[in-house]
Structure 1
Amino acid sequence: MAFILWVIAVILVVSGIFALFRGETLWGIVLIIVGLAVGPGGYSIFR
């Protein structure tokens, strides 16, 4: 379960970074925050 959450978090953060480079600032920030909230390391909403 932790591995799946880690993979999802990585995908969300990378998508957020790409959104920032495309100029979609708000969407990029939202994706990065959601990625950090889902990931098993650091802050996680599934803790």
Structure 2
Amino acid sequence: MAFLLWILAVILVVAGIVSLVRGQILWGVVLIIVGLLVGPGGVSIFT
């Protein structure tokens, strides 16, 4: 379960960075924040 959360977090953060590069600043920041919450935060909640 923790491994899947980390993979999801990495995908969200990468998508956020790509959005930032494309100029969609708000969407990119939201994706990065959600990715960080899912990764370290989600792992600590579910384990």
Q: TM-score, normalised by structure 2?
A: 0.88
Runs of 4+ aligned structure 1 residues displaced above 2 Å come to: none
Aligned-residue Cα RMSD (Å) equals 1.1
1 or 2, which has the higher helix percentage?
A: 2
Equivalent residue number for residue 6 of structure 2 = 6
Q: TM-score, normalised by structure 1?
A: 0.88
- Name the SS for the 1:14 alignment partner: helix
Equivalent residue number for residue 35 of structure 1 = 35
Structure with bigger RCO (C-alpha 8 Å, 6+ apart): 2
Q: Which runs of 5+ in 2 are unaligned?
A: none
| CA distance in 1 between partners of 2:20 and 2:4 (Å) | 25
Q: Which runs of 5+ in 1 are unaligned?
A: none
